[in-house]
Amino acid sequence: MSCPRSLSKSNYQTVQILVFSGWVVAALGCCAQTPAQDSSSLAATGDSRAPEAITLKDAIARAQKIYSPYLATVTDAQVAREDFRQARNAMLPSIGYTQQYLGTEGNGKTPNGRYVTQDGVHVYRAWGVFHQDFPAGFFAGASYKRAAASAALAEAKAAIAQRGLAVTVTRAFYTLIAAGRKYASAQDTVSQAEHFLDDTRKLESGGEAAHADVVKAQLQLNQQRVALAEAQLAMNNAHLALTVLVSRAFDENFTAVDDMDHTPVLPGLQEIKDMAARENQDVRAALETLRQAKEDVIIARASFFPTLTVDVDYGIEANAFALHSKAAAMPQDGVLPNLGYFVTGVLDVPIWNWGTTRSKLKQAEYRRRQAEMDLSQTQREALGNLYSYYNEASAARSEAQALREAADLAAESLRLTTLRYQAGEATALEIVDAQNALATARNLFDDGQARYWVALATLQTLTGRF
């Protein structure tokens, strides 16, 4: 088996056997190239390191670290968790400490000086402050529950983005695998076309074949060389697309591990339904949105009621920074205790704001009503998508099995047709048709397997990993 003339043998030193479940393509010398070892890619980067082999799991893990749209949802979830903490802490009393010195100019006659708010020229404050707000909806815990719903909603969106990213990476990963297989198949087809051209020339020189057979063989070789160049281009583009997803520094020096033959088993429909009932993040997000909207209604309704703020201050406010001292305004009373407390309670009662509070309540009720409709719609769509994605995966699995058998039959057909041609019982056109049929069957089989992997990843957006 010879290599295509357009390829350099020095770039390919090993022998790669590509097994397509029943039929084997031996790619010798130049046909040992893998997608990530493409000479043009390595030449572009100038990297002489041995390429790193990555699996689908590795690719997804890498993408989760660098893919900006996914990381944005993760950041939103982290921010929402902090909002939840803040809402929880807002329900608890706060404790602070303040220390002040208030100095005023004396007037030479009265002990309190020129500022009537002070009872002496020197005033010292050292307070521990206990503060508690009771805003609208406090006793129902509405703000706290709303923040919890927001955090859960952000978590659900992050999970949705994570599963969507897995589909994107899976598609890119197995597109590269399929493109690499197609490239190897194209190399093999070129080699077959070269052998066929050599055979027709030998038969023509012996008077056993017409010159038309040589012309047909040459045309077939030219066409297959073009197909090889296209396959190489598609493989390089697929490699670049995956690089964008998995490499922060756009390092192309890696190979994708071909595990496409080791397809996972598709669970039964009832098992899929059970997993979707537990793990469907779209429905979870809709539920949390509705929960959030309900708490907004409670908060808006509570705005019609008074709000209360309580401050308890404990410490000193005296003319000396001491636990006991004489009051400047009443020195005749002697030394008095300074340490004590005072309480401030503020009750705000809403009276009239031109209907703004009622308008906000209506807004919240409108949003709750829409959230209920969205939940119903999401549940219907989730059920429809579940059946659709499952049917797609089931069909892809069945078609992949049929395409595997078709590839086996096409390989056997080419072998038998070649023997018949050598025996003078078949035409050159039959050989060409058999070669094209084999190339087409292999490519369809590769696409079918890649389709099944993507269909599984899409189904897992509803069910979680299985």
The answer on pLDDT for 323 being more than 70 is yes
Q: Is the per-residue pLDDT at 35 higher than 90?
A: no
Residue 11, pLDDT above cutoff 80: no
| Mean pLDDT of all residues in 317-329 | 86
Helix 281-302 to helix 356-422 angle, to the nearest 10 degrees? 170
Task: Give pTM, 2 decimals.
Answer: 0.78
Query: Average pLDDT of 8-33?
Result: 32
Which of helix, strand or coil describes residue 323? coil
Tokens of 13: 């030193």
Going by DSSP bridges, is the β-strand pair 254-256/52-54 parallel, antiparallel, or unpaired?
A: parallel
Please name the residues in contact with 102: beta carbons below 8 A apart, sequence gap of 6 or more.
118, 122, 123, 124, 125
Helices 56-66 and 211-246, interaxial angle, to 10°? 50
pLDDT at 39: 37
What pLDDT score was predicted for residue 329?
Answer: 76
Question: For position 46, what pLDDT does the model report?
Answer: 52
Exposed / middle / buried, residue 120 (Cβ in 10 Å: 0-12, 13-18, 19+):
buried
How many angstroms separate the CA atoms of 155 and 292, rounded? 14
List phi, psi (to 5°) of 452.
-65, -40
- What is the predicted pLDDT for the residue at 47? 59
Structure confidence at residue 289 (pLDDT) = 96
pLDDT in tens, 332-379: 888 989 899 989 999 999 999 999 999 999 999 999 999 999 999 999
Q: Is residue 8 predicted with pLDDT exceeding 60?
A: no
**Rounded Cα–Cα distance for residues 228 and 6 (Å):** 10
Angstrom distance (rounded) from CA 215 to CA 262: 42
pLDDT at 115: 78
Confidence of residue 327 (pLDDT cuts 50, 70, 90): confident
How many CB atoms sit inside 10 A of residue 400's CB? Answer: 24
Q: What is the mean pLDDT of residues 396-410?
A: 95
- Three-state DSSP state, 126: strand
pLDDT for 116 equals: 73
* Higher-confidence position of 152 and 17: 152
The predicted structure's pLDDT at residue 108: 78
CA distance 117 to 139: 38
Q: Does residue 2 register a pLDDT over 60?
A: no
Domains of the chain plus CATH, in order, are: 38-75+149-286+371-463 (1.20.1600.10), 92-137+306-349 (2.20.200.10)
Query: For residues 167 and 48, which has the higher predicted lDDT (pLDDT)?
Result: 167
The amino acid that residue 415 corresponds to is: R
pLDDT grade for 135, boundaries at 50, 70 and 90: confident
pLDDT of 21: 32
Q: Is 310 helix (H, G, I), strand (E, B) or coil?
A: strand
Q: Are 12 and 29 in contact (CB under 8 A)?
A: yes
pLDDT averaged over every residue in the chain: 87
What span, in angstroms and rounded, lies between the C-alpha atoms of 317 and 322? 9
pLDDT at res. 122: 86
Q: Tell me the pLDDT band of 37, cut-offs 50, 70 and 90.
A: very low
Q: Tell how far CA 369 is from the center of its chain.
A: 30
Q: What is the rounded average pLDDT of the residues 33-45? A: 40
**pLDDT exceeds cutoff 70 at 33:** no
- pLDDT of res. 286: 96
What are the residues whose beta carbons fall under 8 Å from the beta carbon of 108, sequence distance 6 or more?
Answer: none
- How far apart (Å, rounded) are the C-alpha atoms in residues 32 and 53? 16
SS3 357: helix
Average pLDDT over residues 118-146: 87
For residue 113, what pLDDT is reported?
A: 78
Q: Which residues touch 114 (CB under 8 Å, ≥6 apart)?
A: 104, 105, 106, 107
* Contact in structure between 193 and 92 (CB atoms under 8 Å): no
Q: What confidence score (pLDDT) does residue 161 get?
A: 96
CA atoms within 13 A on the CB side of 40: 12
pLDDT in tens, 196-231: 999 899 888 888 888 999 999 999 999 999 999 999
pLDDT at 10: 34
Q: What is the pLDDT of residue 136?
A: 75
**Amino acid occupying residue 72:** A
Q: Does residue 291 have a pLDDT over 90?
A: yes
- For residues 231-254, average pLDDT: 95
Do residues 201 and 428 make contact, with C-beta atoms less than 8 angstroms apart? no
